């Protein structure tokens, strides 16, 4: 061990003197490729990883504890801070869990808007993945192009809800606003743009790129059995040949009415997963295109009618005494869902994002557990990294697409 004093400082990144021939290095917690605060303790034999130990918790904010001390509506903006790359999917997963608990369904226009926002967030998140993954592996220009398109998507989100990163664009029981004028046309134009870019820019730059394939093919191989056992979901599971997408298998919102495919890869490696992300972006734009004409066919209600749990529309509050009273109670005390427990899974861009809520009939949740996909994908690293070379570590971390907001919560 090192003996540290003022003259010979402690090298926290390196540990030289060990009995065997291995070297222990600290990857992170401030490594640019760690996608947040991941500290990965790697034991190396030469360039080969012998042991990997992911150390998390550097971004822990106690979100589950906060949920136990906030009313249900108060907590919704906090969910933005889970997977901050695609906030609406967190807002939605939480709102859906509470809606299932109180037995409320959002009106159809709200469903159209929510589904559109969810898919837009999927595109934002996948663009971010392609950009940063390519940057980590060494393809700089893809990052620039992908972030350009991501900017357009964020502009769309900004047009809708005024925020670019922490959207809070969904409410329990519906959505707060209708789409602004011209939004649908912009969304359609954006879909065309993304389809074109996925095919002709990122696809053309990466799909058959020899260096890219050498870096990704047969790197980070997960068998289907392992993927299930480690709790992998989303592209990590479908990249291992298991065709399971919650949007198709346990449909929520309008997904049962929409026509889309679930891409699946049996390559089980990083390249297969990368191609999945590219394909999913095309499927998302396909869904958004189908939703655009559906918006005009719906009636303009945006929030569900359940005055016991959700405030009545402004007009009713201002004209009817009882609606005003109920609104006052909801604002000052918060809604009181019935006693019971619920676990609602949704397909977030990263995988299965589920909220378990245990309610004791109080305005505060008795227990809220956020089942974050990235948490389990981080756990997988301790097995996946063993036996790989240090140059592939960055590729494998990139391909798991972990976001530390939801790993540490």
Partner 1 sequence: MRKYVPKDNVQGKSYYTDRFWVAPRVPRSEVEDEHFAAVVTALGDLAKESYVEIGQLVVHIDATNNFTVLKTLKEKCGYTQCSEQSAVDYLAKDGEFELFYQLLNVNEAKRVRVVCRIKNGEAIESVEPLFKSANFAEREMFDMFGIKVNNHPFLKRIIMPDDWEGHPLLKTYPLHGDEFASWYEVDKIFGKEYRDIIGPENRDPAKVDRHDTKRFSRVGYEVPFGADISEGETEKAIEYSETLLVNYNKKASKQLDERR
CB of 46 to partner 1, least distance (A): 25
End-to-end CA distance of the chain, in Å?
34
Q: Which is nearer to partner 1, 134 or 258 (CB)?
A: 258
Compute CA 256 distance to the chain's CA centroid, rounded to the nearest angstrom.
21
Residues in the chain: 409
Q: Which is nearer to partner 1, 164 or 369 (CB)?
A: 369
CB of 53 to partner 1, least distance (A): 9
CB of 113 to partner 1, least distance (A): 24
Task: Quote the crossing angle between the two packed helices 140-161 and 108-137, to the nearest 10°.
Answer: 160
Show the tokens assigned to 89. 């999917």
Q: Which is nearer to partner 1, 37 or 168 (CB)?
A: 37
Show the tokens assigned to 92. 């939605």
**253 contacts 115 by C-beta, under 8 angstroms:** yes
Show the tokens assigned to 277. 């992300």
Q: Which is nearer to partner 1, 113 or 335 (CB)?
A: 335
**110 contacts 372 by C-beta, under 8 angstroms:** no
d(CA 347, CA 287): 14
Which of 88, 28, 86 lies closest to 59, judged by CA?
28
Q: Which is nearer to partner 1, 105 or 301 (CB)?
A: 105
**395 contacts 272 by C-beta, under 8 angstroms:** no
CB of 168 to partner 1, least distance (A): 21
CB of 21 to partner 1, least distance (A): 24
CB of 67 to partner 1, least distance (A): 10
User: Which phi and psi (to 5°) does residue 295 adopt?
Assistant: -60, -45
Those residues whose C-beta lies under 8 Å from the C-beta of residue 268, and which sit 6 or more positions away, are: 221, 222, 223, 224, 239, 240, 241
Largest CA distance in the chain: 80
Q: Which is nearer to partner 1, 174 or 334 (CB)?
A: 334
CB of 328 to partner 1, least distance (A): 11
CB of 364 to partner 1, least distance (A): 6
CB of 178 to partner 1, least distance (A): 30
CB of 15 to partner 1, least distance (A): 17
Question: Three-state SS for 121?
Answer: helix
d(CA 2, CA 8): 9
Count CB atoms within 10 A of the CB of residue 378. Answer: 22
CB of 226 to partner 1, least distance (A): 7
Q: Which is nearer to partner 1, 74 or 195 (CB)?
A: 74
Q: Is 241 left (phi over 0), alpha (psi -120 to 50) or beta?
A: left
Q: Which is nearer to partner 1, 109 or 336 (CB)?
A: 336
Q: Which is nearer to partner 1, 179 or 222 (CB)?
A: 222
Beta bridge partners of 52: 42
Q: What 8-state DSSP symbol labels residue 51?
A: E
d(CA 258, CA 33): 36
Interface residues with partner 1 (CB under 8 A) are: 56-57, 60, 62, 64-65, 68-70, 100-101, 103, 225-226, 228-231, 233, 242, 244, 249-250, 332-334, 336, 338-345, 352, 354, 356, 358-364, 366-367, 369, 371, 375-376, 378-380, 382-383, 408-409
Q: Which is nearer to partner 1, 217 or 226 (CB)?
A: 226
Q: Which is nearer to partner 1, 150 or 238 (CB)?
A: 238
DSSP H helices, 183-337, are 183-197, 210-216, 224-229, 235-238, 246-249, 270-296, 314-319, 321-333
């Amino acid at each position: 061990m090192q003996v540290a004093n003022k003259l010979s400082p402690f090298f926290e990144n390196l540990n030289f003197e060990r009995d065997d021939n291995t070297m222990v290095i600290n990857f992170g917690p401030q490594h640019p490729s760690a996608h947040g605060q991941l500290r990965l303790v790697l034991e190396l034999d030469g360039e080969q990883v012998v042991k990997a130990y992911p150390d998390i918790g550097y971004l822990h904010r106690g979100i589950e504890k906060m949920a136990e001390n906030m009313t249900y509506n108060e907590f919704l903006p906090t969910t933005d801070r889970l997977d901050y790359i695609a906030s609406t999917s967190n807002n939605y997963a939480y709102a859906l869990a509470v809606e299932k608990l109180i037995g409320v369904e959002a009106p159809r226009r709200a469903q159209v808007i929510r589904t559109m926002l969810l898919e837009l967030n999927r595109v934002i998140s996948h663009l971010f993945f392609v950009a940063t993954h390519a940057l980590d592996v060494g393809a700089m220009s893809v990052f620039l192009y992908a972030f350009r398109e991501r900017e357009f998507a964020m502009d769309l989100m900004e047009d809708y809800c005024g925020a670019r990163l922490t959207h809070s664009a969904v409410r329990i029981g519906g959505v707060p606003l209708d789409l602004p004028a011209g939004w649908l046309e912009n969304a359609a134009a954006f879909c065309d743009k993304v389809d074109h870019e996925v095919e002709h820019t990122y696809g053309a730059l990466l799909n058959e790129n020899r260096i890219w394939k050498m870096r990704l093919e047969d790197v980070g191989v997960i068998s289907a059995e392992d993927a299930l056992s480690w709790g992998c979901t989303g592209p990590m599971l479908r990249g291992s040949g298991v065709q399971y997408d919650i949007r198709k298998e346990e449909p929520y919102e309008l997904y049962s009415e929409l026509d889309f495919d679930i891409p699946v890869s049996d390559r089980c490696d990083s390249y297969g997963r990368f191609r999945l992300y590219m394909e999913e972006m095309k499927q998302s734009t396909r869904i958004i295109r189908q939703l655009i004409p559906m918006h005009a066919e719906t009636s303009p209600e945006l929030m569900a009618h359940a005055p016991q749990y959700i405030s009545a529309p402004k007009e009713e509050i201002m004209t009817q005494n009882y609606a005003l009273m109920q609104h006052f109670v909801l604002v000052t005390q918060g809604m009181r869902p019935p006693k019971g427990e619920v676990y609602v899974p949704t397909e977030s861009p990263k995988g299965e994002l589920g909220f378990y809520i245990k309610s004791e009939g109080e305005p505060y949740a008795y227990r809220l557990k956020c089942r974050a996909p990235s948490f389990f994908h981080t756990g997988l690293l301790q097995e996946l990294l063993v036996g790989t070379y240090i140059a592939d570590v960055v590729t494998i971390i990139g391909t798991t697409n972990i976001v530390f907001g939801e790993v540490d919560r």
